[in-house]
Structure 1
Amino acid sequence: MTPALVLSGPPGVGKTSVGWRVFTRCTDLGQDPAFVDLDLLGAAWPAPDDDPHQSRLKAANLAVVWANYRAVGSRRLIIAGVVETSGERLHLEEATGGPVVICRLDASDDVLAQRIRDRGREGGDDLKQLVARAAELSAQLVAQDVSDFSVRTTGRDVDEIADEVLARW
């Protein structure tokens, strides 16, 4: 079984956009993929004090969704979501029933901030907090790297990034 691919990185780096493009490429290659966004699998409030990033909830939901995808014929799993710790990686491995390959997507803080502003989903203090969180998380993910490889997204189009991710997966 091919290890699941996890596209990790801070907000604005392109996890979902690259994930969709990798999914499309795998579909075109006849590889029967499935795509999951961990943010959506953990979109519940409030978060428990002992799991502030909802990593256990995301993994529990991922296990069920992946089982359903496999039941209808999916053979490759692409996941978009932030993986900050080896414990979170272990949760994903348990949920998928095997190893995961983590690709950390990187971009400069200025690029992250511009992409977040361009999305137009946040405003005011929420926007300022998300931009600050993106820069903080970007540095943290580099310092405490749990990824298998990284791919730079600054100044590149989504096709070029997806091609590199696929080649390295």
Structure 2
Amino acid sequence: MTNERREPATTADERTMLEGWLDYHRQTLAWKCEGLTDEQLRTAAVEPSTLSLMGLVRHMAEVERSWYRRVLTDEEAGPVYYSDEDRDGEFRLTEADTWAEAYATWQAEIEVARRNAARFALDDTSEGKHRRTGERFNLRWIHTHMIEEYARHNGHADLIRERIDGATGD
């Protein structure tokens, strides 16, 4: 695996720091998937779990979509991979599911997230509300939550990648 990630400057302002760490963790997940076949990317961590690298990428596309479209800007953006009937649909993969599609969807959601976030100051409150709690969030909270979300799932990605081909690294 090649490592093209860059940590944010140690003296960056708060917004640059938060967005830098978010991008770092986005890049980490991409790096963990690098060089694998679709079949390997669909490989579940351990039975009976359906957790796979491709599933994690699809999940993060949904998470980006939820926080930066639905909550931050109150956009009516339905789910891509899951449904009310199958809340974990992003993790249920078939041979028809491809890395090219999952990666393109994820990157498109990241680009929308960046554009939407650019319209807000860190202290600005979201236009939308969380669908379960009805709460509003400021952009600082959303960025911090996304860093946590990626960091947690990158830990999963580390273990899955090591199981697939023995590759390790932070």
**TM-score normalised to the size of structure 2?**
0.30
Structure 1 or 2, whichever has the larger Rg, is 2
TM-score (norm 1): 0.30
Which structure is higher in strand share? 1
Q: Tell me: higher relative CO, structure 1 or 2? Use CA pairs within 8 A at least 6 residues apart.
A: 1
